[in-house]
Amino acid sequence: MDKKLFYDLVETHGTPLLIIDHNKIRKNYLEFREKLPRVQIYYAVKANSETEIIKTLYNLGSSFDVASLHEFNLVFNLIKNLEPKKLQNFVWNNIIYANTVKKPDSLHFLNLYKPLLTYDSVEEMEKIKIHCPEAGLLLRIKVSDEGSVVKFANKFGIDPKLSVDLIEKTIKTGLGVEGISFHAGSQCNNPQNFVKALQSVADIFEEAEKRGCIIGETVTTGSPIKIVDLGGGFPVQYNGTEQSFIELTNIINKELDRLFSVDKTLIIAEPGRFLVANAGTVISSVILAKHSTEMPCYHLDDGLYHTFSAIMYDHLEADLKSFKDWEKNIESKVFGPTCDGLDELSENSYIHGSKNAFLPRLSEGDLIYQENIGAYSNASATHFNGYPPAKIIHINN
Tell me the H-state helices in 260-390.
273-276, 309-313
Query: Is 268 in contact with 63 (CB distance < 8 Å)?
Result: yes
**Residue 369 phi, psi (nearest 5):** -130, 160
Catalytic amino acids? 339
The CA-CA-CA angle for residues 376, 382, 385, to 5°, reads: 145
Query: Is 306 in contact with 382 (CB distance < 8 Å)?
Result: yes
| One-letter identity of residue 12 | T
Count CB atoms within 10 A of the CB of residue 101: 14
Query: Is 40 in contact with 329 (CB distance < 8 Å)?
Result: no
- The CA distances from residue 300 to 84, 337, 340, in Å, are 50, 6, 13
Length of the chain: 397
Long-range contacts of 381-384 (CB under 8 A, 24+ apart): 381/305, 381/306, 381/307, 381/309, 382/305, 382/306, 382/309, 384/305, 384/338, 384/340
